[in-house]
Chain A
Amino acid sequence: MPTVTIGLMDPPYESSNTVTGLRIIDAALRKGHQVNVFLYEGAVALGFAEQKPHANPVKGKTVEEFDHPNPKEWVAALFELARTSGVKLDWINCGLCVDERGVDKQVEGARRGSPADFWKLAEASQGFLFIATR
């Protein structure tokens, strides 16, 4: 199966690009592709392990009722999907971007890297997509 490398740049809770990117990753994994994901700038916070769900006081819903999703749960779910599908998901955060934001506590499986890693992964991939911030 071809390998796909995807770059994301938008921070969590700011853009529909996040959901679009994660849907593509989910679909690629389900089709059996190995997927490399490079997180640049604010996107490194997608896998930040200390995200917390909250209640919604405007709608009068508790934390449990609101079932507020944190992107870290989606990232963890994608790792689990890759594991059960027998394919590899490589989740590489731009290390300098992580340091800038202090989001070094990440979900299990995420690792640090650099744009050089991204380039090497892209070179070895048959599919390539980078969704940049606008």
Chain B
Amino acid sequence: MARYLSVVEEPYRATIEEQDDTAVWFTHAMRNAGAEVTLLLRGDAVAYAAPGQDARGLRFGAREVKMAPEIDQDLAALMARGVTVYVVSEDATDRGLREGGLIPGVEHVARAHVARLFADHDRVLHW
């Protein structure tokens, strides 16, 4: 069975409308179907690993958005399904995210080692 690497680089594309991130959701659905898949957050997407983001309270007219996205919880659920989640260390540091300030279980990978991570997988999805 091929090993897949799902690389998320463009976050928050439509997370309010979807109530989750489409790439993370797709990765989770692949895993649920039996795929062997790893998730890599790079660029601005490393922010997904910051705990406690709160997108509640949005409404248009009288239509309230009741199920706000909780991407950190979605990542935790993904890891609970056996998916390893990486963030690129330098991308997190550049954005002021300290190593201990991310949700538990997320692994760091140095930018210089991202190529090796690609090489360790058979197929790459770049979102």
Contact = CB atoms under 8 A, between A and B. Distances in A.
Contacts of B63: 69, 73-74, 76-77
B118 interface: no
A67 B16 CA distance: 12
Contacts, number: 69
Interface residues of B, number: 24
Interface of B: 12-20, 22, 25, 28-29, 32, 58-63, 65-67, 77
Given A19-B58, A26-B61, 12 more contacts: A14-B14, A15-B14, A19-B14, A56-B20, A58-B25, A59-B20, A59-B77, A68-B19, A74-B60, A77-B60, A77-B63, A80-B61
30 contacts: A12-B14, A12-B17, A13-B14, A13-B22, A14-B13, A14-B14, A16-B12, A16-B13, A16-B15, A16-B16, A19-B16, A19-B17, A26-B59, A26-B61, A56-B19, A57-B32, A58-B29, A66-B19, A67-B66, A67-B67, A69-B65, A71-B17, A73-B63, A74-B63, A77-B59, A77-B61, A78-B60, A80-B62, A81-B60, A81-B62
